[in-house]
């Protein structure tokens, strides 16, 4: 067991904040993906270029970008298996990091 130092306490607090942020971003990503899936289910015949759907894709891509960047900055690698687990559609991945449409 290491003695408690100011640096150890600070390191622990930083890790706590990183974990809390990844958790929050994970929930935001899940909500954005669920909203897109719900729209697709509800509006099965809608054009994929429907502005409402495009906004949901952009929202999901924005949430994905934040989630992936924060994971990478926190030292967590291997994002591909996480994206498969979330079932992130290819069109959302393709828009990750792209500025939102207005």
For residue 24, what pLDDT is reported?
Answer: 97
pLDDT of 1 reads 62
Q: What share of the chain is helix, strand, coil (3-state, %, to 5)?
A: 75, 0, 25
**Tally of structural domains, the chain:** 1
Residue 42 lies in a domain: yes
Cβ atoms < 10 Å from Cβ of 26? 16
**Model pLDDT for residues 3-57, shown as the tens digit of each residue:** 788 888 898 999 999 999 999 999 999 999 999 999 999 988 878 889 999 999 9
> What is the per-residue pLDDT across 77-92, written as a single tens digit (0 to 9) for each?
888 988 999 999 999 9
Q: Is residue 31 part of a domain?
A: yes
Q: What is the model's pTM? A: 0.87
Q: Say if CB 89 and CB 53 are below 8 A apart.
A: no
Place of tokens 């306490």: 9
Range of the domain at 72: 6-95
N- to C-terminal Cα separation, the chain: 54
Is residue 74 included in any domain, yes or no?
yes
With respect to residue 35, please indicate whether it lies within any of the assigned structural domains: yes
User: 49 in a domain, yes or no?
Assistant: yes
């Amino acid at each position: 067991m290491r003695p408690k130092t100011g640096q150890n306490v600070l390191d622990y607090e930083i890790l706590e904040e990183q974990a809390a942020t990844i958790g929050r971003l994970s929930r935001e990503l899940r909500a954005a993906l669920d909203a897109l899936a719900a729209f697709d289910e509800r509006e099965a015949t809608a054009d994929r270029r429907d502005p409402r759907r495009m906004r949901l894709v952009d929202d999901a891509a924005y949430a994905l970008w934040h989630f992936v960047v924060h994971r990478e900055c926190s030292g967590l690698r291997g994002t591909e298996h996480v994206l498969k687990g979330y079932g992130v559609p290819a069109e959302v991945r393709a828009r990750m990091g792209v500025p939102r449409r207005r």
